[in-house]
Amino acid sequence: MNERLTFTHTIKDELSQKEVSVSCAKSIIASFIKLNGNIILSKNNTRLVLRTETSSTAKYLYKLLKIYYKDILVSFSYLKSMKLYKSIEYLININQGTNQIFDDLKIDLLEDKIPYHLQDKEDKIRGYFIGSFLASGSCTDPVSSNYHLEIVVNDENYANSIIKMSNKIKSAKFDFKSIKRRNKYVIYLKKSDQIANFLAFINADNSCMKFEDIRMDRDFSNTTNRLMNCDSYNFKKTLENSKKQIEEIEFIDKILGIDNLQNEKLKSLCKARLTNPEANYNELAEIISSEMGTKVSKSNVNHLFIRLRKMVEDYERKD
């Protein structure tokens, strides 16, 4: 779990350093409020509290709010959990100006659809995904072979709205899936290339490069291991076949004598197998071709061994 959080925090730290356009920034704020915003009502005021476990995310949201909503009263605080891991939760408190923000962004915490004006351009969709990932996203560390990137939401219809919004992206295609997990809904990507593309789409370029580098190194290692396993299996199979073929050759040699075989290629193959018990069919074909001065293929070798086996079976039936 620590590895996953480490890479997730790396992505969020990188996103929190990015300069974005006004429209992108407002989509970030809107999506973050939707997922991590809590309204606190009192007689004379409406407060909004945004929560996050990542300090860089808290500072980033605080900065964006101060830039685009100069008249609001916003403060920054944190809570330290006394549980086993003693995690810290950072709070951005909008003590005055909550209605101004909601009116400007035209959002409703009870609404399960994404307002059109927050997704009518790809840059706004990018911002919406950045805010969503900062609010409730996570990604497994690329050193794990279990690739998984997810965003957790509260409502199934809202999860479907996010997936529908992703289909509007023209520069990339994402095959988001959704699943219910306890009382939450999760939209996720499992394919490594899609996760890398998503990180690139939300401008987490360094995290994308790290993900790709580690993934390719491991995939290369896995491919090498698979090839070595295949080579080992093929060599073992070659030895098993060779042992049986030598027994058949020795059987025919006792009855007829190898030198008395009328088929010159079969005669050459029998001698080549006896002197080269570890050779595969390609190597035997090259040996026979060299000795006879004519092209002998791997397929020819296979058919000659089938012919040899039939000869053995015919003589065994006679006995």
Q: What number is the average pLDDT over the span 287-305?
A: 89
* Positions of CATH 3.10.28.10 in the chain: 2-203
pLDDT for position 220: 63
Which one has a higher pLDDT value, 33 or 217? 33
Query: Which CATH class name applies to 2-203?
Result: alpha beta
pLDDT(3) > 80: no
Amino acid at 282: N
* Predicted confidence (pLDDT) per residue in 103-162, tens digit: 999 998 988 999 999 999 999 999 999 999 999 999 998 887 788 999 999 999 999 999
Q: What is the pLDDT of residues 167-217, one digit of tens each?
A: 999 999 999 999 999 999 999 999 988 999 999 999 999 999 988 888 777
Q: Could you tell me the strand order of the sheet in which 137-139 lies? A: 137-139, 149-153, 184-189, 177-181
